């Protein structure tokens, strides 16, 4: 339908002689367009590093696997779509062994008791020679009024200490790692530290005294020279270790020294413990708190506080070994 109005006249009819020219133009237009597209893709666009360059690079290098593609994109946070892919990062060698101020030092951590001792009372009641006399292989340890076992506490703190000390380059051994049904006996615990040639041994415990008795104390070996026990060579270095542990424990945890043992010093010397009597390397015990006191128990059952306890004991060991 055509509109006819003032000033508008129908177009005159086309003359037959123009039809061949029209057909020729119609035939030429698609060809010209196709040629322009080919030029832009193959020649023109490739000269300015745009999308055409990426296309030709990808086709020249062959198909890219999903893994190598992901590695390229992960190589930089500023890769942009359409940019030139970056090469995959060269694989790095395995991380070297941890080095630190305690490299070459051997530390033995003795998590007191064993959670399985409750099921093996006959075995742990067996008597062993502690040098000066005979005592039970081990005991069950104590627990909070809510049932949190001393053995659970000691192993948790030992694990935290191991992580801290290994980060400083030390070789760390545990006398038990929850990997045995009961024990070991007190004489074996001492033997583990001796055979390791430990530079320091700390036995981790929590006390089971009466309510109202609060605070920590470090137990030092007294001078013993009887039977299989001879602590004379380790009394001095063990005291130095114990003093460093006590001081750093206060700083890390904020806990006060025991109000019922040690006369406020946080230090107690004993000659009746097989783990100390049979040791030939510097060794101390630490009673981190009283599980039977509700206020101390609240600390001992807190993971955050146990981390502080592990830090304090570890700092004491580091201080001792570094002089």
Pairing between strand 127-129 and 283-290?
Answer: unpaired
List, in order, residues 6 or more apart from 60 with CB less than 8 Å away.
Answer: none
HEC secondary structure over 299-311: HHCCHHHHHHHHH
Encoded tokens for 67: 């893994």
Q: Which helix (H) or strand (E) holds 203?
A: strand 200-207
Triad 251, 254, 258: Cα angle to 5° = 105
DSSP secondary-structure letter at 207? Answer: E
Helices (H), 82-140: 121-124
> Distance between alpha carbon 52 and the CA centroid of its chain, in Å?
49
The helix/strand/coil state of 48 is helix
Smallest CA-to-CA distance from 131 within 236, 231, 269 is with 231
Cα 167 to Cα 39: distance, rounded to the nearest angstrom: 63
Tokens of residue 187, six digits: 């004489």
| Active-site residue (options: 150, 152, 243, 287) | 287
287 is catalytic: yes
Residue 171: beta bridge partners? 106
User: DSSP 3-state assignment of 257?
Assistant: strand
CA distances to 129, 179, 265, 311 from 217, rounded to whole Å, are 26, 28, 8, 16
Query: What are the tokens at 314?
Result: 């570890």
- Distance between CA atoms of residues 64 and 62, nearest Å: 6
CA-based Rg of the chain, rounded to a whole angstrom?
A: 40
Instruction: List, by residue number, the catalytic residues.
Output: 287
């Amino acid at each position: 339908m055509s509109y006819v109005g003032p000033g508008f006249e129908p177009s005159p009819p086309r003359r037959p002689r123009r039809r061949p020219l029209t057909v020729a133009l119609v035939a030429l237009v698609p060809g010209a367009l196709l040629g322009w597209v080919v030029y832009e893709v193959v020649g023109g666009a490739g000269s300015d590093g745009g999308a055409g360059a990426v296309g030709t690079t990808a086709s020249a290098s062959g198909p890219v696997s999903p893994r190598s593609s992901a590695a390229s994109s992960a190589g930089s946070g500023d890769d942009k779509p359409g940019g030139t892919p970056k090469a995959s990062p060269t694989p790095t060698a395995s991380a070297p062994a941890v080095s630190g101020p305690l490299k070459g030092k051997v530390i033995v951590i003795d998590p007191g008791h064993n959670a399985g001792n409750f099921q093996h009372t006959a075995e742990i009641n067996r008597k062993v020679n502690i040098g000066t006399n005979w005592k039970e292989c081990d005991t069950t340890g104590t627990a909070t009024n809510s049932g949190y076992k001393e053995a659970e506490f000691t192993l948790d703190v030992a694990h935290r200490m191991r992580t801290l000390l290994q980060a400083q380059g030390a070789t760390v051994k545990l006398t038990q790692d929850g990997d045995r049904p009961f024990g070991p006996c007190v004489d074996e615990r001492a033997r583990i530290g001796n055979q390791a040639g430990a530079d320091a041994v700390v036995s981790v415990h929590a006390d089971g005294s009466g309510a109202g008795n609060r605070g920590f104390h470090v137990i030092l070996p007294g001078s013993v020279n009887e039977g299989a026990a001879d602590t004379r060579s380790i009394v001095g270095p063990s005291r130095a270790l114990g003093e460093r542990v006590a001081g750093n424990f206060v700083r890390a945890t904020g806990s006060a020294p025991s109000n019922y043992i040690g006369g406020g010093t946080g230090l107690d010397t004993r000659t009746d413990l097989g783990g100390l009597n049979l040791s030939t390397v510097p060794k101390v015990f630490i009673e981190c708190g009283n599980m039977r006191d509700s206020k101390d128990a609240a600390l001992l059952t807190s993971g955050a506080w146990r981390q502080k306890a592990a830090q304090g004991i570890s700092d004491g060991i580091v201080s001792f070994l570094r002089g």
